[in-house]
Amino acid sequence: MSFIDRTTDIKNILNRITLFPVTAILGPRQCGKTTIARNLKYDHYFDLENPRDAVRLEHPQLALEDLEGLIVIDEIQRFPDLFPLIRYIVDNNLKQKYLILGNASESLIKQSSESLAGRIAYYHLGGFRIHDVDKLNIKKLWLRGGFPASFTSESDESSSFWKENFISTFLERDIPQLGIKIPGYTLGKFWSMLSHYHGQVLNYSELARSFGISDMTARRYIDILAGTFMIRLLHPWYVNTGKRLVKNPKILIKDSGIFHSLMRIETLEQLFSHNKIGASWESFGIECVCRSIDKPDQMFYFWSTHSGAELDLFWQHGGKNWGVEFKYADAPRLTKSMKISLTDLNLSYLWVIYPGKERYKLTNVIEVLPLADIPLQWDYPS
């Protein structure tokens, strides 16, 4: 697999290491956490999937308390009892910093935050960004997704084969290791069915009926997939405009390549002729923009009214409201929905992201922006 420099992620991680005694890199398996950590200037490395390192930490206080420098602990979710000890050590040894890597977001955050409150910074690592690859490779990134092994495969066919095996391994190995007692086949079928709702507002009752399970079980399955970075639940933004608002979250498969694998899309030709191309483009764009803005997932929203006005992505920054629309079109035009969202949400600026090459304005505060021109760090108009 060819090496691709992930300068932005490394810079963001190093900033956290400088400011906090403990930094956690969270993300799905195979997204590049270990590769990035191995390329940092660490002093000690423990990989808890390595039996030798696991044995070394059977007596963790003896193994850790006299060390100095940056200590990396990979697969930390295997030894959750380490968190209280790490808190004690960093409170009493100013010569230590920890970088911990894990695969399960919600459970790991809960375990670590209870012991390391105020001492830990989190960094959510996804796959490759559009800034990590050449602009000419953005369509390839869209098709194959950001997992390094998938993107750098020799062919679309080998990429598809890798993603199928990743999904299988995730269901049959990773899920049981997290203590989740759901048959891989059952969760796999649910995940596959969920991909057909990709980009849609969730109706838990309809989803549960379709799969023959209870609402509570459907919510549990969705929480598992969200907590392991496989899906994004984009929640609605509420604003008092006197209009009936959509109040359920949107469901999005986070990695475009995994979504395409679940939909059996293997080539760009198949993608361009698929009826889900618009939803695929929107979710791919959402992930690209969210990575550029670099805020926690829970700080992004969508907005929609029952009368049809909507905004694909909404967030707040610097005391102002901002929005993005995603259009898979040759030349997006000003729409009634854009005008309504601009007024009702009091947006300071609205970007319309599309796959074209020209950047142009629709009004003084609405701008059409090519996906390839998304800035490395979001540029807010003054």
In a domain, 180, yes or no: yes
Confidence of residue 222 (pLDDT cuts 50, 70, 90): very high
Share of the chain above pLDDT 70, in %: 96
Q: Verify that 157 and 22 share a domain, yes or no.
A: no
Q: How many domains does the chain have?
A: 2
Question: Which pLDDT band, with edges at 50, 70 and 90, does 1 fall under?
Answer: very low
- Record the tokens describing residue 107, joined without a space: 């459970």
Kindly report, residue by residue over 71-98, the tens digit of the pLDDT.
Answer: 999 988 888 889 899 999 999 988 999 9
Asked which of 60, 92, 124 is the last residue of a domain, the reply is 124
Sheet (strand 320-326) strand order: 250-253, 231-236, 301-304, 310-317, 320-326, 347-354, 366-370, 360-363
- The pLDDT value recorded for residue 232 is 94
Residue corresponding to tokens 């697999």: 1
> pLDDT value at position 241?
61
Residues 105 and 142 in one domain: no
Average pLDDT, the chain: 91
Assess whether pLDDT exceeds 60 at residue 2. no
Residue 183 and residue 241 in one domain: yes
Q: What is the mean pLDDT of residues 248-264?
A: 95
Lowest mean pLDDT among 114-123, 193-202, 275-284: 114-123
- Cα-Cα-Cα-Cα dihedral sign, residues 138, 143, 129, 155: negative
If asked whether residues 200 and 107 sit together in one domain, one would say no
Query: In the chain, count of helices (H) and strands (E)?
Result: 17, 13
Question: DSSP letter string over 28-71?
Answer: -TTSSHHHHHHTS--SEEEETTSHHHHHHTTSHHHHHTT--EEE
Same domain, 196 and 168: yes
Q: Which of 63, 93, 124 is the last residue of a domain?
A: 124
C-alpha pair distances (Å), 353 with each of 81, 331, 366: 45, 10, 11
Per-residue pLDDT reduced to its tens digit, 133-164: 988 899 999 999 999 999 999 999 999 999 99
**Has residue 116 been placed in a domain?**
yes
Co-location of 117 and 163 in the same domain: no
DSSP string computed for 232-286: EEEEEPP--SSS-B--SPEEEESSHHHHHHHTT--SHHHHHTSTTHHHHHHHHHH
**Residues 202, 207: Cα–Cα separation, whole Å:** 8
| Distances in whole angstroms, Cα of residue 359 to Cα of each of 45, 351, 354 | 46, 10, 10
Q: Is 380 domain-assigned?
A: no
pLDDT of residue 250: 94
pLDDT > 80? residue 242: no
Q: Please give the full DSSP string across 308-362, using - where no structure is assigned.
A: S-EEEEEEEETTEEEEEEE--SSS----HHHHHHHHHTTEEEEEEEESSS--EEE
* Dihedrals phi, psi of 307, to nearest 5 degrees: -85, -5
For residues 247 and 352, state if they share a domain: yes
| C-beta of residue 163 within 8 angstroms of C-beta of residue 148 | no
Mean pLDDT value across residues 117-123 = 88
Q: What is d(CA 121, CA 75) in angstroms, rounded to the nearest whole number? A: 17
Which token pair is 204? 């838990």
- 130: in domain: no
Q: Which of 124, 154, 176 delimits the end of a domain?
A: 124
Same domain flag for 357 and 259: yes
Task: Decide which of 373 and 175 is more confident.
Answer: 373
**Does residue 382 fall inside a structural domain?**
no
Is the dihedral angle over the CA atoms 131, 137, 138, 144 positive or is it negative? negative
Residue 257 near residue 202, CB atoms below 8 Å: no
* 104 confidence band (pLDDT: 50, 70, 90): low
Confirm whether 32 is domain-assigned.
yes
Q: Is residue 117 part of a domain?
A: yes
Burial 115-134 (b: 16+ CB within 10 A, else e): bbeebbbbbbbbbbbbbbbe
- Around Cβ 12, how many Cβ atoms within 10 Å? 18
Does any domain span residue 36?
yes
Q: Which of 332, 333, 315 is nearest to 324 (CA)?
A: 315
Residue 105 and residue 7: Cα distance in Å, rounded?
A: 23
Band of pLDDT at residue 107, cut at 50, 70 and 90: low
From the list 198, 160, 214, the residue with the least C-alpha distance to 274 is 198
* Same-domain pairing of 213 and 325: yes
Model pLDDT for residues 43-58, shown as the tens digit of each residue: 999 999 999 999 999 9
Residues 219-223 have a mean pLDDT of 91
Is there a single domain that holds both residue 329 and residue 219?
A: yes
CA nearest 31: which of 12, 4, 53, 11?
A: 4
Confidence of residue 128 (pLDDT cuts 50, 70, 90): very high
Same domain as 93, residue 25? yes
- Fill in the amino acid letter for 38: R
| Top-confidence range, 107-116, 157-166, 240-249 | 157-166
Nearest CA to 339 out of 327, 329, 325 is that of 325
Q: What's the rounded Cα separation, in Å, for the pair 15 and 8?
A: 11
**Which residues, other chains included, contact 46 with Cβ-Cβ below 8 Å and sequence gap of 6+?**
53, 56, 57, 71, 72, 73, 74
Pick the range with the lowest mean pLDDT from 14-23, 261-270, 371-380.
Answer: 371-380
Residue 142 shares a structural domain with residue 106: no
Q: What is the pLDDT of residue 106?
A: 62
* Higher pLDDT pick, 336 / 117: 336
Range of the domain at 160: 135-373
CATH label of the domain that carries residue 14: 3.40.50.300
pTM of the prediction? 0.90
pLDDT surpasses 80 at 221: yes
DSSP 172: I
203, 79 Cβ separation under 8 angstroms: no
